[in-house]
Structure 1
């Protein structure tokens, strides 16, 4: 019976699909579909774009759960996507025979469309195992931005780096050409994360990505200059670096000893990118 239940959970999927259209001078949520426990809790105009908040009505990703989300931004639409709270990933202990959790997100952007994806951090509980996959497809003039933050566990419960495994992949295509691919695998029990040249004393990681074929050399230079202006965040140092990719992109990697300074750092980069690349004014994070 227990094995049957584990097998049933292993194939249980939750799906969210949504599409955005630009009509009558505004971006609108033209179509949506979801299955429990994930859903769009709220959508509303925010300056010149449409803001969407994704909610998980469950305690989080349990062993065997798979979330699949697909976002379609049609020509000239502009969407801002965030989440209601941290993504909590619960244990999937190997000795119990449980399979890990997974999340797969796909973003499809038509000509001149913009998606700003700024979710809340991912929290990996003790014995959690998560596979995260993101695929982005861009047409001419489209802009995709994302900031993600990874927490090593509930540090106040002494769970630092006690999760089982984290796998992460990002693939970006521009007009059907693969322009960026990144793969990451972290197994704290096997990797010497505190070694010199690795994470050392850092515990929390963040990544900011920006991809568009309209990115110019002057915009790249301005974003690199912006890094030098990043403020300090009290007793939590933020180590950050930003590089332009082989084609049409910028990627920044950051590390700190807590989540909140990385949230502030990602906000700083995101607001800078809005001004430099999109020529847009700053907006506040909905969950701040």
Structure 2
């Protein structure tokens, strides 16, 4: 006998009041919580005599992990590219990622390709990532861009916890549609929130909320003439944030994208913002900043963009 899957369409589960109306809508296909809709990924990295190793991994559809790669410029780092056998993120999907880097380990986690958030008519899609880095450890969490198809409704929430002496680099690039098809700003709603805390408490919070039907993203002071938006957080409490900000600002101002850097509050580190007409130009600027910051933090350049 088939087991009935409960349909978790409850406004109380919505990540933000703007998503409450969507949460009450039941997708006509697989319900929220059905097999394949709730993806879970758990990764744990630890130091070993041979360098950092992936000591625990667990993945359910749509996540897949085939193992670690060892081509990182850092001799002790482990790299994981998260794969997906599906065509993208669909309405009603709920994805949860948990990554733990133990003390003195160095890890780089990315996605094999862009995250494509499909068009939606019911409910919404949400992704949460919980990252933790132990004392003296380092994590680079730099996924490929997120592409918001027409009518997409997407929320992502990332939390970072750092022990003393730990550092992290977090990257996020948003592409507002399939630009080659002229699908610019045709998504319905996008919400991204980032929170970080250190051993002494909260470090910073950052949020991006775009809803083209309510407020024009192309307005001055938002994205203006540009389409693609990217952010790189270099989270390194206790370091010279002002000096790093000046250094990274000088690096990205020579790039094709319109970019700049600023120090984060509470001495947390630096945020680099970039705007461009194409994902590639924004990626190039953020990679230049990542490369510079990583040399300072762990004494090695950022990995190249190849995904094999």
In 1, the alpha carbon distance for the partners of 2:58 and 2:100 equals: 12
Query: More displaced, 269-278 or 49-58?
Result: 269-278
Unaligned residue ranges in structure 1 (runs of 5+): none
Give structure 1 regions of 4+ aligned residues with deviation exceeding 3 angstroms: 3-8, 229-233
In 1, the alpha carbon distance for the partners of 2:163 and 2:169 equals: 14
The answer on 1:42 being equivalent to 2:42 is: no
Task: Confirm or deny: 8 A CA contact 2:287 2:302 kept in the other structure.
Answer: no
Task: Confirm or deny: 8 A CA contact 2:185 2:217 kept in the other structure.
Answer: no
In 2, the alpha carbon distance for the partners of 1:282 and 1:149 equals: 17
Q: CA deviation at 1:221?
A: 1.4
In 2, the alpha carbon distance for the partners of 1:225 and 1:44 equals: 30
Q: Secondary structure at the match of 1:264?
A: helix
Q: Counterpart of 1:243?
A: 262
In 2, the alpha carbon distance for the partners of 1:226 and 1:249 equals: 11
Q: Counterpart of 2:20?
A: none
Task: Confirm or deny: 8 A CA contact 1:19 1:73 kept in the other structure.
Answer: yes
Task: Confirm or deny: 8 A CA contact 1:62 1:89 kept in the other structure.
Answer: yes
In 1, the alpha carbon distance for the partners of 2:303 and 2:43 equals: 23
C-alpha spacing 1:53/1:229, structure 2 compared with 1 (3 Å)? closer
Unaligned residue ranges in structure 2 (runs of 5+): 1-24
CA RMSD across the alignment: 2.0
In 2, the alpha carbon distance for the partners of 1:76 and 1:277 equals: 13
Q: Secondary structure at the match of 1:228?
A: helix
The answer on 1:16 being equivalent to 2:41 is: yes
TM (norm. structure 1) is: 0.90
Q: CA deviation at 1:84?
A: 0.5
Task: Confirm or deny: 8 A CA contact 2:43 2:57 kept in the other structure.
Answer: yes
Q: Counterpart of 1:160?
A: 184
Task: Confirm or deny: 8 A CA contact 1:49 1:78 kept in the other structure.
Answer: yes
In 2, the alpha carbon distance for the partners of 1:285 and 1:198 equals: 28
Count of residue pairs the alignment pairs up: 278
Q: Counterpart of 1:286?
A: 306
Q: CA deviation at 1:275?
A: 1.3
In 1, the alpha carbon distance for the partners of 2:252 and 2:44 equals: 35
Query: After the TM superposition, which residues 50-199 of structure 1 pair with which residues of structure 2 at under 5 Å, given as runs?
Result: 50-93=78-121, 98-175=122-199, 177-199=201-223
Q: CA deviation at 1:182?
A: 1.4
The answer on 1:225 being equivalent to 2:247 is: yes
Q: Secondary structure at the match of 2:295?
A: helix
In 2, the alpha carbon distance for the partners of 1:213 and 1:197 equals: 29
Query: More displaced, 165-174 or 187-196?
Result: 187-196
Q: CA deviation at 1:175?
A: 1.4
Q: Give the structure with the higher percent strand.
A: 1
In 2, the alpha carbon distance for the partners of 1:223 and 1:275 equals: 14
**Cα shift readout 1:211-230 (whole Å, capped 9, x = no counterpart):** 1224125xx41442342243
C-alpha spacing 1:176/1:60, structure 2 compared with 1 (3 Å)? farther
Task: Confirm or deny: 8 A CA contact 1:126 1:164 kept in the other structure.
Answer: yes
TM (norm. structure 2) is: 0.85
C-alpha spacing 1:128/1:282, structure 2 compared with 1 (3 Å)? closer
The answer on 1:260 being equivalent to 2:280 is: yes
